[in-house]
């Protein structure tokens, strides 16, 4: 049976080699490291973990090739990026206003008995802003998808064919971190589809890309506290999970009020903490049914408490 494994960041504590060796995979392993952008080809260390069986899908290189050779696609991608940037700026304005309302309600001393209802209404307003942004991005992506289909771009069709053929021959897939926007952009442009029977190992941005809700977060940003932001949809291999890499370095985990708000805001998801050394194994590998977060994983619950999932 296939397995989906999310790892902690690999920069300081490298676990991917040991994890893959423990899987006893005999076939080829597709490597997706387009989040590294221009450094994508510098994959010797990554390939070394797979005993010579790794094959780089070269998605960033392929995207560069498409943009250089197909002016229509290049224009569509450029328009999409600019539109998303403008939309994101407007989203930030709306989100900050909604978050300010949550803060005001939480610290208003005169609410008394109605406080729980008032707080929930304020949090629901934040959810509404998130849903609005996600829907708007989806509309922009639909427009881009129509402009970048194999029917409209022969070179995209050629690359998709090659990628699909390689994936058909691979027993496993490894998805590295890097720039999550670049990673998702290449996965979407080439319509990369993970096979249900394939074992998938991913970390950092790669782990985020396997979920259905990609959230950006950084409580220790140089310009002060900022609210987490919905970024995009992922491949939805692990629906109902929000992956939070580098959690100790990027989240104020000791701030129960802040963590509780984060969990209540994304109430339909489990907030999975992926710090150095984390290895979280999800049996199976198809999207659709919500996966059970396995025992031993660290999550943030609705009270803002960091807890370890216990065995059923």
Residue 303 in this model has a pLDDT that exceeds 60: yes
Model confidence band, residue 288 (pLDDT cutoffs 50, 70, 90): low
For residue 158 the two structure tokens come to 């050629």
Q: Which of 11, 10, 15, 12 is nearest to 281 (CA)?
A: 15
For residues 205 and 183, the answer to whether their CB atoms sit within 8 Å is yes
Model confidence band, residue 145 (pLDDT cutoffs 50, 70, 90): very high
> What pLDDT, in 10s, does the model give residues 232-274?
999 999 999 999 999 999 999 999 999 999 999 999 999 999 9
Alpha-carbon distance of 247 to 243, in angstroms, equals 9
Alpha-carbon distance of 57 to 40, in angstroms, equals 10
**What pLDDT is stored for residue 285 in this prediction?**
53
- For the beta sheet containing 170-175, the strands, ordered from the edge strand earlier in sequence to the opposite edge, are 54-56, 28-32, 170-175, 199-203, 3-7, 279-283
DSSP state of 55: E
Torsion sign across C-alpha atoms 307, 179, 238, 197:
negative
Q: Within 13 A of 256's CA, how many CA atoms are on the CB side?
A: 3
Residue 47 in this model has a pLDDT that exceeds 70: yes
Alpha-carbon distance of 69 to 63, in angstroms, equals 10
**What pLDDT is stored for residue 229 in this prediction?**
97
Compute the C-alpha angle 289/292/294, nearest 5°. Answer: 150
**Arithmetic mean of pLDDT, 199-225:** 92
**Arithmetic mean of pLDDT, 88-113:** 87
Q: How many CB atoms lie within 10 A of CB 166?
A: 15
Alpha-carbon distance of 82 to 68, in angstroms, equals 18
**What pLDDT is stored for residue 223 in this prediction?**
74
> Hunting for tokens 């690999």 — which residue is that?
10
**Cα separations in angstroms, 233 against 11, 100, 302:** 25, 26, 23
For residues 242 and 269, the answer to whether their CB atoms sit within 8 Å is yes
Mean pLDDT (the chain, rounded): 93
């Amino acid at each position: 049976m296939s397995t989906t494994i999310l790892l902690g960041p690999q920069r300081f504590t490298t676990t991917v080699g040991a994890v893959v060796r423990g899987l006893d995979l005999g076939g080829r392993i597709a490597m997706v490291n387009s989040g590294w952008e221009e450094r994508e080809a510098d994959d010797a260390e990554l390939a070394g973990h797979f005993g010579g069986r790794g094959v780089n899908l070269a998605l960033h290189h392929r995207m560069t090739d498409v943009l250089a050779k197909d002016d229509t696609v290049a224009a569509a991608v450029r328009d999409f990026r600019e539109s998303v940037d403008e939309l994101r700026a407007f989203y930030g304005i709306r989100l900050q206003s909604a978050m300010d309302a949550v803060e005001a309600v939480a610290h208003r001393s005169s609410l008394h008995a109605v406080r729980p209802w008032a707080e929930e209404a304020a949090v629901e307003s934040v959810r509404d802003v998130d849903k609005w942004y996600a829907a708007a991005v989806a509309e922009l992506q639909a427009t881009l998808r129509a402009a970048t289909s194999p029917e409209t771009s022969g070179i995209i069709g050629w690359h998709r064919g090659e990628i699909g053929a390689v994936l058909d021959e691979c027993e496993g897939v490894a998805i590295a971190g890097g720039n999550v926007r670049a990673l998702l952009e290449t996965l979407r442009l080439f319509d990369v589809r993970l096979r249900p029977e394939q074992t998938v190992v991913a970390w950092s941005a790669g782990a985020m890309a396997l979920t259905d809700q990609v959230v950006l977060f950084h409580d220790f940003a140089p310009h002060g506290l900022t609210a987490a932001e919905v970024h995009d949809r992922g491949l939805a291999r692990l629906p109902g999970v929000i992956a939070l890499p580098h959690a100790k370095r990027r989240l104020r985990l000791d701030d129960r009020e802040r963590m509780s708000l984060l969990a209540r805001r994304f109430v339909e998801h489990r907030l999975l903490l992926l710090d150095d050394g984390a290895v979280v194994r999800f049996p199976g590998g198809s999207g659709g049914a919500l996966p059970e977060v396995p025992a031993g994983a660290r999550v943030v619950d609705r009270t803002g408490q960091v807890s370890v999932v216990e065995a059923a």
